Amino acid sequence: MNRLQGKVSIITGAGSGIGRGIAEKFAEEGSIVVVADASPAGGEETVELIRAAGGTANFQQVDVTKAEDVERLAQDTIERYGEISVLVNNAGISSGDTLRIHEVTEEAWDRIMNVNLKGVFFCCKYVLPAMLERGGGSIVNIASAAAMGMGPRAAYAASKGGVASLTRSIAFQYGEYNIRANAICPGPVDTPMSRAARANGTYKQAPIVDLCVDRRGEPEDIAYAALYLASDESKYVTSDMMLVDGGAMRLRAEQF
């Protein structure tokens, strides 16, 4: 308990799935949580869940692809709580059912890059000055096992590879200011996004990958990793790509 006592955490995409799991876990561990999501319904529901459990949270409607929304998110959080200690860049979209690069439309490519990569850039751009001001902070980016080469979704994988590279650059540029940046690379996690992808056939061309752990991940599995990376327990960990995938990648590596 209280592993994040005194922290103020912004979590994007916290109105559903993995982001909600992280928001609930962070609040349970004492952090004030800003639930930032494009969806008011999902975001407000997460806030209600946190408050019902005795935590502190507020919702802010944010489209991470809009610089003015993200700038306002950072400003409002400072005004309300005085600082930003943790940023979890979790908001993301899946590429839908156009898997091969010659089938991907320019519009789909731009949409995926805007949400999954430019959105992370905007959030870091507008939150980092507050972390510099407070003398430190932790950024946790939710990438994907797809960033490590797993899966056929070209545009999605490229966006998540970009998130991994951006994470390393931030770790390099801000390490001397006590600001850490790490990425989590989840394997298959049971959320509305992955349920929709299974239902619409997105994974139909995916390679069959066995997991060492015989189940899909739950949002809580990712939340525990994010909790460690957000807390001071990981103070010597930065620029890391933490795989939380039930062992899928390790099994594949052995197969080759």
Contact between 142 and ligand NAD per CB under 6 A: yes
181's CB contacts (< 8 A; 6+ apart) are 124, 138, 139, 140, 141, 167, 168, 170, 171, 174, 238, 239
39 vs 56 by CB, closer to ligand NAD: 39
Query: Which one of 57-65, 125-133, 172-180, 234-242 is the stretch in contact with ligand NAD (CB under 6 A)?
Result: 57-65
Restricting to residues 153-172, name those near ligand NAD by CB under 6 A: none
- Burial category of 206 from C-beta neighbours within 10 Å (exposed 0-12, middle 13-18, buried 19 and up): middle
256's CB contacts (< 8 A; 6+ apart) are none
Minimum distance of ligand NAD from residue 239's CB (angstroms):
19
How far is 100 from 94, CA to CA, in rounded Å?
14
Cα–Cα nearest to 50, from 9, 83, 96: 9
Residue of 8, 62, 226, 242 interacting with ligand NAD (CB under 6 A): 62
How far is 151 from 149, CA to CA, in rounded Å?
7
Contact between 23 and ligand NAD per CB under 6 A: no
Instruction: List the catalytic residue out of 81, 126, 156, 236.
Output: 156
Which residues lie across from 185 on neighbouring strands?
243
- DSSP code at position 189: B
156 is catalytic: yes
Restricting to residues 205-234, name those near ligand NAD by CB under 6 A: none
How far is 131 from 177, CA to CA, in rounded Å?
9
x/- map, 71-110, ligand NAD, by CB under 6 A: -------------------xxxx-----------------
Contact between 18 and ligand NAD per CB under 6 A: yes
Residue of 135, 192, 201, 207 interacting with ligand NAD (CB under 6 A): 192
Q: Could you give the residue numbers annotated as active site?
A: 156
Catalog residues that contact ligand NAD under the rule CB under 6 A: 12-13, 15-19, 37-39, 42, 62-65, 90-93, 115, 119, 142, 144, 186, 188-189, 191-194
